[in-house]
Each structure stands twice: as C-alpha cells, then as structure tokens.
Amino acid sequence: MDSPLTADPVSNGADATFMTDVVEASKAQPVIVDFWAPWCGPCKQLAPALEKHVRAANGAVKLVKINIDENPGIAGQMGVRSIPAVYAFAGGRPVDGFMGAVPESQIKMFVDRL
C-alpha cells in the first residue's frame, strides 16, 4: 500500500464507493469531485488542469473523478444537470464548487482555497 505522500491524489470514483472515497475521506482532507463523461468536450479540457493543480498541492487535497454515464446515482442526488460539474467536500459535506470549464487560473484558486 502506498503511503499517503506517494499515493496518487487523483482516482476514479463510483456511486458504490462515494461515501468512503469522498464523504468519509473529506473528514481528513478536502476532496474535489469531478463529474464528467467521455463524450463531454469541456470535461476533456478541464480534467488535465484540475489534475495538475491537485497534484501540485502535494497531498493537501484529493480528486475523485466520477463518470456519470457509468455512475448516475450520486450526480442525480446532487442535482448535477450539466457537466463538467466540480464540487469540493470538506468535513463530510459539499463546501464549494463550479460548473463548466473555467480558466486554469480559476482552477488554481479553487484548489488553493481548499
């Protein structure tokens, strides 16, 4: 098992593991959830910048990517109507978020705020 410092802070999530991967994990450190789909052009633009800034945070935050085509449950519960939809969880609940592809400078500020 990787130590927390060497483990990749970016992972793929699923409806079945959301409580563990996101809600429980966010009680120890902020977790960003990226709701996306393979056919979503803006998602493909957003993902590399989001992953870059999460990795640059050196373990201060985690990123869980959820493909809504394969895992529609949590996205539906959270009222996600368009993607990309990004939510930050801390203390077991959503605390911040944004919709759509945003400039990289905004992504950096979003990650830094957490």
Residue tagged active-site, from 25, 40, 49, 83: 40
The neighbour count for residue 4, using CB atoms within 10 Å, is 11
Q: Distance (Å, rounded) from C-alpha 21 to C-alpha 24? A: 7
Q: Order of strands across the sheet with 31-36? A: 10-12, 62-67, 31-36, 85-90, 93-99
32's torsion region: left (phi>0), alpha (psi -120 to 50) or beta? beta
| Whether 40 is catalytic | yes
Residue tagged active-site, from 31, 32, 43, 111: 43
| Whether 63 is catalytic | no
Residue positions annotated with a catalytic role? 40, 43
